[in-house]
Amino acid sequence: MKNTIFTGCGVATATPFRPDGTVNLKKYAEHIDELIQKGVDAIIVNGTTGESATLSDEEQYNIICCAKDVINHRVPLIAGAGSTNTSHAAKLALNARNAGADAILSVTPYYNKANENGILEHYNFITKWCQLPTIVYNVPSRTGLNIKPETDAKLSENPFIFAIKEASGNI
């Protein structure tokens, strides 16, 4: 049986920006600290809520580092590491590990509509490189692809895949 990454309420954080479009890490740090003080059980950064698709790899890395420093082992840090490009998703996941994330959240490849084997290969490649607990993010309304229960079962055989964020609307 796999260990639990976290229990309770994990909050996906929005990314604050300055008027010039740069990330405001000071405000971000304040927001994360406030969430922890109010009792959240995990912090999730660089997800779709945090505008990850509009951030550079460097900005995403800096956000993870900022969050890690503020969290200071008080709650788990889960970092988004998703891309339709498997190699890029793996790079983001490795960056997350190097920045100190405790786990990653990775969306299914969007637009390309991978078959079951493609989904399995995508996640196996990512986890091989980052070797962090991974949460698969199934959100077909955004990706155009729904992970079937049979595929979930196969994904669960991967020792690094710990959970699924199920957003299909059909439990």
135: Cβ contacts below 8 Å, ≥ 6 apart: 5, 78, 103, 104, 105, 106, 161, 162, 163, 164, 165
Catalytic site includes residue 110:
no
Sign of CA dihedral 37, 14, 58, 76: positive
Quick check: 29 and 70 in contact, CB under 8 A?
yes
Catalytic site includes residue 165:
yes
Catalytic residue among 28, 61, 123, 137: 137
- Active-site positions read 137, 165
